[in-house]
Amino acid sequence: MSKIAHRIFISILVVIVIVTLITLLYKGISYYKVGIEERFYHPDHSLLKPSGILGHGMGIIGSLFMIIGVSIYMVRKRYRLLSRLGLLKYWLEFHIFLCTLGPILILFHTAFKFGGLVAISFWSMVAVFLSGVIGRFIYIQIPRSIEGRELSLNEVREMKSDVADIVKKSYNLDEESYSILADSIKKKVELYHKYAIVRYIRKYFDDRKTIKTVKASLKKNNLKKDEYKKILALVKNDIKLNRRIERLDTMQNLFKYWHVVHSPFALVMLIIMIIHVAVTIAFGYRWIF
């Protein structure tokens, strides 16, 4: 999939989620604002209540989305035979889409009324969703191959190029600008603070300051616009790789701990969801079937 096709793919998924959320809010806002005791008299009660045509349907479809989203990603991740069916990151993105749209539908299925055993499943689902957002952030911090495999520290280091040497050979910079650029690239990380999060925040602002200094230095040279952009891109990429190398071990460990939190909540959610569906069927709720 080309970059343009991938952007279109992601944009379509985002639009579907946003449009679904806005549509459901627009359709049911007057109903959901009414108190629980008064909803029986609302004209949309038979449609939007959890056992209603639309309410029940959202519960079924939302549950299916979540089950499918979890299942297809796990199968694709575990079985190498499916590696030809698209890159793992595309499957992850589709997993995120289904596991975002599913909870939205289930939220409206509940009509914002939580209680009993189902409440445990719902809040487990919320925990799974929120931990998924955190997991996605950690996931993108870990360098990966095009197939989605985690890269080792040595593999990441091999990705680095000698930016200073490339710039010196390919572009005409004055000695002062070249020195500033070379120093900014060779700049080593200092342990600003004993807590990693504080170091990362300070390092981020330090990198922004470095990029600003390089920009000011490059502007003093008579560079063409495309040359300026290429040199800046090389510097930014080098800084980005340095940042990833510095926190690779931390992010890999965080990702392991994240699985310990994410998986149990997902399991609890699925088990109670199955019990809820079984009880619903036992009481004769068949939706449109």
Give which of 4, 275, 251 is closest to 136, Cα–Cα: 251
pLDDT bracket for residue 185 (50, 70, 90): low
Per-residue pLDDT for 99 more than 80? yes
Please state, rounded to an integer, the average pLDDT across all residues of the chain. Answer: 78
Question: Greater confidence, 170 or 146?
Answer: 170
Q: Residue 215 contacts by C-beta under 8 Å, 6 or more apart in sequence?
A: 232
In angstroms, rounded to a whole number, what is the distance separating the alpha carbons of residues 180 and 156?
Answer: 25
HEC string for 33-58? CCCHHHHHHCCCHHHHCCCCHHHHHH
Element (H, E) at 234: helix 225-282
Asked which of 30-44, 76-90, 218-232 is least confident by mean pLDDT, the reply is: 76-90
Q: What percent of the chain has pLDDT over 90?
A: 8
Q: Are 181 and 190 in contact (CB under 8 A)?
A: no
**Residue 14: predicted pLDDT:** 92
Q: Are 69 and 104 in contact (CB under 8 A)?
A: no
175-184 confidence digits (pLDDT tens): 777 777 777 7
pLDDT bracket for residue 19 (50, 70, 90): very high
Q: Residue 214 contacts by C-beta under 8 Å, 6 or more apart in sequence?
A: 180, 181, 184, 232, 235
Task: List, as one string, the DSSP characters of 138-199.
Answer: HHHHS-B-TTSPBPPHHHHHHT---HHHHHHHHS---HHHHHHHHHHHHPPPP---SSHHHH
In angstroms, rounded to a whole number, what is the distance separating the alpha carbons of residues 101 and 61?
Answer: 10
Q: Residue 110 contacts by C-beta under 8 Å, 6 or more apart in sequence?
A: 50, 59, 118, 122
Q: Residue 204 contacts by C-beta under 8 Å, 6 or more apart in sequence?
A: 243
In angstroms, rounded to a whole number, what is the distance separating the alpha carbons of residues 146 and 86?
Answer: 11
Q: What's the DSSP call for residue 238?
A: H
How many Cβ atoms from other residues are within 10 Å of residue 236's Cβ? 14
In angstroms, rounded to a whole number, what is the distance separating the alpha carbons of residues 212 and 214?
Answer: 5
In angstroms, rounded to a whole number, what is the distance separating the alpha carbons of residues 72 and 95?
Answer: 8
pLDDT bracket for residue 20 (50, 70, 90): very high
Beta bridge partners of 130: none
In angstroms, rounded to a whole number, what is the distance separating the alpha carbons of residues 284 and 162?
Answer: 69
pLDDT bracket for residue 33 (50, 70, 90): confident
Burial class (CB in 10 A: 0-12, 13-18, 19+), 182: middle
235-281 confidence digits (pLDDT tens): 787 777 777 776 676 777 777 777 777 778 788 888 888 888 788 77
What is the average pLDDT across 54-80? 85
